[in-house]
Amino acid sequence: MRVLTIIRRGRNSIHGSWINQVRNLCDIGISTYVEDLPEEPGSVLHHLHKGTKQEALHDLFTSRPDLLDRYDYVWCLEDDLHVPYESAWGIFNALSNRKLSLCAPALTYYSHFSWASTIANDALRFRGVDFIETMAPIFSVDLLREVLPGFLEFPIWGCCVGWKNAMHLRGEIGIQFDEFPIVHTRPVGGGELYKLARRPPQEDLDEAYRRYNGQFGSYGSSWFGMSRDGRVLTGDALYHAMHDGYGRFFGYHPQARAQFEAERWRFEQDDNRFIERLNFNVRGDVLDEYNRLAFFPDMDGLLGRSWVYGSTGDGDYRTLRFHRDGSIDPGSEPNEARWSMTGGHLCLLDRFGRPAVVFDRHEETREGVTLRGDSLLFEGLSLYLRAG
């Protein structure tokens, strides 16, 4: 996996405090609006453009399209961010295992921030969100190519609404890494880049909302969270976990508690049907995939019925029901403690989280649907799930 990290820097950049360590994990490129700024040793490019960060990125990648052919991801950073090595390593490790179109680190609870939803939550490892702000987004190269024209149309805050719309049309969702935060060290709106903008940042954001907002509403929402102990949380359970996990944040910003509690409705909207339309599931401590489960047009084909579980030699064992959070009823058996997906196929996990069987074959008869797979724990054992 290849990552290009672009730092949009001025004279007062703080990236020198962390860049030497992170340079071992990715290529570093510098984009600046300061004409006499010398090139940095060890950086793969030095780019000069007198505009906002988004306008500079548009200029860089349209004038050097070959750059995007060399990488899998591009991380776009402002120069008042401190990036701990552990956070960069953790995010890159996650990206090396799973392809994500759009993601970002959360911010430490003592950071300057615009959106409270971007603050790292101590109860979660990561969240599925429909809003990634402009401060430190990580794009897959294919998404960046898609949204790059909008960097000129909305050169400050509005561009984040443009890529939110692009993700919505793809049926995908962004990932915010609570476990791997970074620090925003300066007040929002006080940096030099705002002096370079042709219109105020709030006006830029409002215009983008007018353009795209009819499809998905104006607020960013957390649609699911992965807890520190590996549970997938949605709705009311997610709200309570985040409320507890924001203890340090509420202590540092007392007014944030009332705002968070007043917006509880966001965790209950549409009964989480947005998640159901995405057709994803999670496994263990990483996002597995967003793809549809093989053999079914949507997740209801799996979750909306009972399944008879058994083996070709021994016949039926028991009846199972699968739940969206990865649990199974009844969940007392050691070799079918939870379920997940691998390669789009239903997978049963043992009580240690190891795959026990992958159902990679499918039959449809007059009697109904049958999934078949071979045990990964017992050689020669062929297992089935028959729709009850």
Per-residue pLDDT tens digits for 341-352: 666 688 898 877
Same domain, 300 and 151: no
The 8-class DSSP code of residue 265 comes to G
Residues 181, 269, single domain; the answer is yes
* Distance from C-alpha of 307 to C-alpha of 305, rounded to nearest angstrom: 7
Burial of 63 (0-12, 13-18, 19+ CB in 10 A): exposed
The percentage of the chain sitting over the pLDDT mark of 70, rounded to a whole number, equals 84
- On whether the CB atoms of residues 384 and 336 are closer than 8 A, the answer is no
The gap between the terminal CA atoms of the chain, to the nearest Å, is 43
- % of residues, the chain, pLDDT over 90: 51
286 inside domain: no
Q: Residue 98: its pLDDT value, please?
A: 75
- Asked if the structure places residue 78 within a domain, the reply is yes
Residue recorded with tokens 């919505």:
168
State the number of CA atoms in the 13 A half-sphere of 70 facing the CB: 11
pLDDT for 274: 46
Whether residues 123 and 35 fall in one domain = yes
The mean pLDDT value for 332-340 works out to 80
- Give residue for tokens 């509880």: 264
Chain-centroid distance, C-alpha 203: 27
Domain that holds residue 369: 291-387
Residues 188, 98 share a domain: yes
The verdict on 268 and 363 lying in the same domain is no
DSSP secondary-structure letter at 119?
B
Nearest by Cα to 320 from 308, 311, 332: 308
Tell me which of 388 and 75 has the higher pLDDT.
Answer: 75
Of the residues 278, 302, 325, the one at which a domain ends? 278
Model-wide pTM > 0.75:
no
Statement to judge: residues 302 and 229 lie in one domain? no
- The answer to whether residue 68 is domain-embedded is yes
Q: What is the mean pLDDT of residues 312-326?
A: 86
| Co-location of 43 and 98 in the same domain | yes
Answer whether residue 285 is part of any domain.
no
Residue that is last in its domain, among 248, 278, 308: 278
* Alpha carbons 67 and 74: distance in angstroms, whole number: 10
Is residue 292 pLDDT above 50, yes or no? Answer: no
Per the listing, tokens 């062929």 go with: 382
Cβ atoms 255, 115 nearer than 8 A? no
- In this prediction, residues 353-368 reach a mean pLDDT of 85
In a domain, residue 46? The reply is: yes
| 224 and 320, same domain (yes or no) | no
Q: Give residue 85's identity as a one-letter amino acid code.
A: Y
* pLDDT at residue number 96: 82
Q: How many domains does the chain fold into?
A: 2
Residues 10 and 105 occupy one common structural domain: yes
CATH number for 316: 2.40.128
Are residues 216 and 178 part of one domain? yes
Among 278, 309, 332, the domain-final residue is 278
Query: Tokens 């050169």 map to which residue?
Result: 155
Q: Are residues 243 and 381 in the same domain?
A: no
**CB-based burial label for 374 (10 Å; 0-12, 13-18, 19+):** middle
More confident residue, 65 or 200: 65
CATH of the domain at 64: 3.90.550
Give the chain's mean pLDDT.
84
C-beta pairs of 199-204 under 8 Å, 24+ apart in sequence = 199/156, 201/156, 201/157, 202/157, 204/154, 204/155, 204/156, 204/157, 204/158
Mean of the pLDDT values across residues 177-195?
A: 81
Say how far apart CA 150 and CA 135 lie, in whole Å.
16
214-268 residue pLDDT tens: 555 555 678 788 888 777 787 788 899 999 999 999 999 999 999 999 888 777 6
Nearest to 29 by CA among 6, 50, 11: 6
Number of H helices, E strands in the chain: 13, 21
Measured between alpha carbons, how far is 309 from 39 in angstroms, rounded to an integer?
64
Q: How far apart are CA 35 and CA 56, in angstroms?
A: 14
pLDDT of residue 227: 85
User: Which residues does 259 contact at the CB level (< 8 Å), separation at least 6?
Assistant: 116
